[in-house]
Chain A
Amino acid sequence: MIGLTVNGVAYQLEAEPDTPLLYVLRNDIGLNGAKFGCGLGQCGACTVLLDDKPVYACLLPIGALQGRKVRTLEGLGKDGKPGPLSQAFEAEQAAQCGYCIAGMIVRAQALLEANNRPTEAELRAHMAPNLCRCGTHMRILRAIRRAAVAMGGGVQNVAEQKP
């Protein structure tokens, strides 16, 4: 048995210690926000927060997580009351197929928690590792800017203005 704390809830799991966290989240715990994209740490669809930093859950063996804090998309809001980023993504309709969005929101959460007044350049550099194949990038950026305001800050030096 391996112990694991996700979104503040402690779990005891029957799994090999080298199992990636992503598989356990989806298959054992039933948290399906994080998606399986490439399984090779290239796309970011599985992004979760580990001690408040964005990491790829597909590359994170659960045996390495003793004493560490894991948060997923589900932990960023409550049922019926989504977090500020989820609300902003909805308001900006920042999804096409939507497969990357959970990872996008989680990665953006890490940025805005650490700094709710990032520059546009910092925002883009921070989001660069997560891929979207539908081309929704401009809406995703707009949603994050909107959320930054909702979280009491705002993105600085915005290059692209809202039409």
Chain B
Amino acid sequence: MTRGQRLLTGIVVGLAAVLLAAFAVAWHPAIAPIEPPAATSFDRMEVKRGEGLALIGDCTACHTSNAAKPLAGGRPMATPFGTVFTTNITPDRETGIGTWSREAFVRAMRSGVAQNGEPLYPAFPYDHFTRANDQDLAAIYAWLMTRPPVSARPPANQLKEAFGWRPLLAVWTLRYLREGPRADDPKQSADWNRGRALVEGLAHCGGCHTPRDRFGAEDKARAYDGAMIAGWYAPPLNARSPAVRAWTADRLFTYLRTGLNPSHAAAAGPMGTVTRALARAPEQDVRAIAVYVASLMANAPAAKQDLPTLDNQQVADQAHPEAALLFAGACAGCHGAGAPMMQQGRPPLSWGTPLHEDGPHDAVRIIMAGLASPVGPSGPAMPAFADYFTDRQLADLATYLRARYTDKPPWPDIAQAIGAARLERAPPPAKEASK
């Protein structure tokens, strides 16, 4: 053998050893199928509890591609490694999880392994769901198994070369999965502990708000530092929060429950979907999430002191006269001081988090795609302005808003953010929850 061949052999043997070690730890046998349990075999109160918990995890958001067939899967999840289609989690015998025992379901949630022993792709956030406690998982199982079964097979995954080979996932699991719920912190309140369990577990907040490493796993060293998700920016939920008003537990609760808080902003993009689910989730659990997330942001700049409103109108008007005109004609009717919408508990633009973020992505996307009405009694919605203005006008407007309502430096790369949002608007597929 030449030296090169020996080296190659060495590498191959080494890789094989790593894979074998991963298999040894991560290999799981099939769990015997069961006869699909009758809906009446589940306790009604448990099913009800499961429904609420499923809203916190928002199973439906990802596992539904056709609203008429909830939970029947088939929704594409774009990842850097290719597209994974979500699975059918209705209790259908052939195509769903009808023959999954509770043990098989709990193993999937805790270990990322299907009933047949096959590892699941981490687009399914089992690295979070593993933190859910036994009672919560049992309740979600009871809820899922009492849904109407739908016969539907998701399309085959379209993964890049090699990533389609599932055994590789054993290595990922070995490296990143820390199984099981965490012990409560006795120094913290019951709400805080429940909140942490939900945030790290079923709610899987880090799935969007924590940046990922090159293997697609959340980077724990940068937990909740904020990250891009499907073209939106999920802002930091820690001391790096760019908010100019404190995120207290009460304000967070209002925001999570209605999609709007008068001191901050309206939930946009994927977060809009989250708040519409949390609006129907158990109130005490949403409060617990708010308590815990507020504690993560306790050292953010705004935590100590709420800033008053800010309006650098003169300076901004002089620097960006065309944008000032656009604002007066298109925006001021709602966002100007004293406008009717401002009397409906809407935050002034200078308090809105998007304008204070490091990048223009959220602000640009909100202007272009608009905002749905918040949850609750009907309220104003923001129209989508993508078709009103040219890219240059939109960029000018975003620059103007940043200059007028913040003291932060101008954004770079606005044109790029607008271009990306335009491309996505062409066909309007629901891409918001891709991981």
Q: Which of B92-100, B294-302, B329-337, B400-408 contacts A (4 or more CB under 8 A)?
A: B329-337
Give Cα distance in the complex from A20 to B388, angstroms: 12
Q: Is the CB of A59 within 8 A of B393?
A: no
Contacts of A39 in B (CB 8 A): 333
- A97 lies within 8 A of chain B by Cβ: no
Q: How far is the CA of A15 from the CA of B361 in the complex (A)?
A: 34
The reply to whether A40 and B387 contact each other, CB–CB distance below 8 Å, is no
**A90 at the A/B interface (Cβ < 8 Å)?**
no
User: Is there contact, CB below 8 Å, between B333 and A64?
Assistant: no
Choice from B325, B382, B385 contacting A18 with Cβ under 8 Å: B325
In the complex, residue of chain B having the shortest beta-carbon distance to the beta carbon of A20: B329
Q: A42-B380, A59-B333 in contact; A51/B325 too (CB < 8 A)?
A: no
B334 & A64 in contact (Cβ 8 Å cutoff): no
Other-chain residue from A17, A20, A42, A53 in contact with B387 (beta carbon distance below 8 A) = A53
Write out, one digit per residue, whether chain B residues 11-39 have a CB within 8 A of any chain A CB (1) or not (0). Answer: 00000000000000000000000000000
B375 within 8 A of A: no
B10 at the interface (CB under 8 A from A): no
Residues of A within 8 A of B381 (CB): 42
B249 contacts the other chain (CB 8 A): no
Q: Identify which of residues 79-111 in chain A touch chain B, using a CB-to-CB cut-off of 8 Å.
A: none
- Residue-wise interface mask of B (193-210) relative to A, using a CB-CB cutoff of 8 A (1 in contact, 0 not): 000000000000000000
Q: Which B residues, 202 to 258, have Cβ-Cβ distances below 8 Å to chain A?
A: none
B340 part of interface (Cβ distance < 8 Å):
yes
Assess A59 versus B383: contact at CB under 8 Å? Given A40-B334, A40-B340: yes
For residue B405, give the distance in angstroms from its CB to the closest CB of chain A: 19
Main secondary structure, interface of B, reads helix
Q: Would B326 and A64 count as touching, CB distance under 8 A?
A: yes
Complex: chain B residue closest to A61, CB-CB:
B329
Query: Pick the contact of A64 from B380, B382, B387, B389 — CB < 8 Å?
Result: B389
Alpha-carbon distance between A129 and B387 when the two chains are bound, in angstroms:
14
Contacts of B385 in A (CB 8 A): 59
Mask: chain B, 321-353; 1 = CB below 8 Å from A; 0 = not: 010011011100110000011000000000000
A133 CB to nearest B CB, Å: 13
Please, which residues of chain B bring their CB within 8 A of the CB of A61? 325-326, 328-330
Contacts of B326 in A (CB 8 A): 18, 61, 63-64
Q: Which residues of A have CB within 8 Å of B380?
A: 40, 42
A44 and chain B: residue at smallest CB distance = B383
Interface size on A, residues (CB 8 A): 22
Which of B322, B329, B333, B380 lies at the interface centre, i.e. has the most chain A CB atoms within 10 A of its CB? Answer: B329
Contact (Cβ within 8 A) B329 A50: no
With A42-B380, A64-B393 in contact, do A59 and B387 touch (Cβ < 8 Å)? Answer: no
Nearest residue, chain A, Cβ from B379 = A42
Closest A residue to B340 by beta carbon equals A40
> Given that A40-B340, A40-B341 are contacting pairs, would A18 and B387 also be in contact in the complex, using a CB cutoff of 8 Å?
no
- Asked whether A141 is an interface residue with its Cβ less than 8 Å from the other chain, the reply is no
Question: Contact at A17–B383, with CB atoms within 8 Å?
Answer: no
Q: Does A56 contact B (CB under 8 A)?
A: yes
**B:49-73 near A, CB below 8 Å:** none
Any B CB within 8 A of the CB of A132:
no
Q: Are A55 and B387 in contact (CB under 8 A)?
A: yes
- Choose among A42, A51, A59, A129 the residue that contacts B330 (Cβ–Cβ < 8 A): A59
Complex formed: what's the CA distance from A50 to B384 in Å?
14
A37 within 8 A of B: no
* Interface presence of A19 (CB below 8 A): yes
* A61 to B388 CA separation, bound complex (whole angstroms): 10
A40 with B333: in contact, given A17-B325, A64-B388 (CB under 8 Å)? yes
Complex-state Cα separation, A129 to B381, whole angstroms? 10
Closest residue of A by beta carbon distance from B67: A121
Smallest CB gap from A41: residue in B: B383
Asked if A6 CB lies within 8 Å of chain B CBs, one says no
Are A60 and B330 in contact (CB-based, < 8 A)? yes
Interface membership of chain A positions 45-89, coded 1 if the CB is closer than 8 angstroms to chain B and 0 otherwise: 000001101111011111110000000000000000000000000
Residues of the B chain whose Cβ atoms lie less than 8 Å from the Cβ of A20: 329
Residues of B within 8 A of A42 (CB): 380-381, 383
Selected from B325, B329, B340, B341, the residue in CB contact (under 8 A) with A59 is: B329
State the CA gap A160–B398 with chains docked (Å). Answer: 43
Task: Decide: A18 near B328, CB < 8 A? Known: A55-B388, A59-B388, A60-B388.
Answer: yes
Give bound CA distance, A40 to B341, whole Å: 9
Known interface pairs A40-B341, A40-B380, A50-B388; A60-B334 also in contact (CB < 8 Å):
no
10 further interface pairs, Cβ-Cβ under 8 Å (given A20-B329, A42-B380, A64-B388): A17-B325, A18-B325, A41-B334, A51-B387, A55-B387, A60-B388, A61-B326, A64-B326, A64-B330, A64-B393
Task: List residues of chain A with CB under 8 Å of any chain B CB.
Answer: 17-20, 39-42, 50-51, 53-56, 58-64, 129
Of the A-B pairs whose beta carbons lie under 8 Å apart in the complex, a sample of 19, sorted by A's number, is A18-B326, A18-B328, A20-B329, A40-B333, A40-B380, A41-B334, A42-B381, A50-B387, A50-B388, A53-B387, A56-B383, A59-B330, A59-B388, A60-B329, A61-B326, A61-B328, A61-B329, A64-B393, A129-B383
